[in-house]
Amino acid sequence: MTVPGVTLRDVGDGHVVDTLPVGRDVDSVSFQRSSDDVLVSRPTSTEVWDRRTGRRIVGPLPAGAGVERVAGMSSAPGRFLVLDSDSGRWHLRTYQVGVADPLASLDLGSDVVPGSFSADGSVVSLDRPDGALSGVLRLDPAAWRGEVCAAVAGADLAGNDRAGVPDGPVCADPLPSPR
């Protein structure tokens, strides 16, 4: 008896490269250019498989009853992203293959619905509950730093404004003046 699988093809000429024996009930598959990791999304769980060995290396990470999930690979080698909605609130978690707990977690709130991840996992589209695009969330701290620094350029941060900010300058590099 053959186990259902995911057929991997060369994008250049279409020939079959391999087949992963992941079984049935696969919603989507995401690849990572920087590793041999393949993310498999199922209706009730998420797994990561090693393309070279054909074995599952993470999971299944179950999605609880009534939890909506969107998952994808990160641009960082060995990392993957999971967006879960529990009781109407969306939470983004970043995982590292081989580490049980998330490396980072972000509460996105209840006024957005994740649409999808970019192919490289660096951006997630956020929709409003009515389906219209709300915006995009760039999952790159360097991009956030640039946007924050541009927003506070020339501002005198003191007292409560600096609460939770590490000691030292927030934006060490001089910023170009706005045009």
Residue with tokens 């927003």: 151
Residue 46, in any domain of the structure:
yes
Residue 77, in any domain of the structure:
yes
Which has the higher per-residue pLDDT, 71 or 163? 71
CB of 8 within 8 A of CB of 18? yes
Return the pLDDT at 176. Answer: 42
Q: What is the number of other CB atoms lying within 10 angstroms of the CB of residue 152?
A: 14
CATH of the domain at 123: 2.130.10.10
Q: What is the mean pLDDT of the chain?
A: 77
Residue 134, in any domain of the structure:
yes
Instruction: Report the pLDDT averaged over residues 48-75.
Output: 86
Residue 10, in any domain of the structure:
no
For the cut 50, the answer to whether the pLDDT of residue 175 exceeds it is no
Q: What is the DSSP string of 34-59?
A: TSSEEEEE-SSEEEEEETTTTEEEEE
Global pTM?
0.68
Three-class SS state of 143:
helix
Residue 157, in any domain of the structure:
no
Residue 7, in any domain of the structure:
no
Which has the higher per-residue pLDDT, 155 or 42? 42
Residue 177, in any domain of the structure:
no
Tally the domains of the chain. Answer: 1
In degrees to the nearest 10, what's the CA dihedral of 60, 128, 151, 173?
30
**Domain limits for position 111:** 26-139
The percent of residues in the chain predicted with pLDDT above 90, rounded, is: 6
Instruction: Report the pLDDT averaged over residues 44-56.
Output: 90
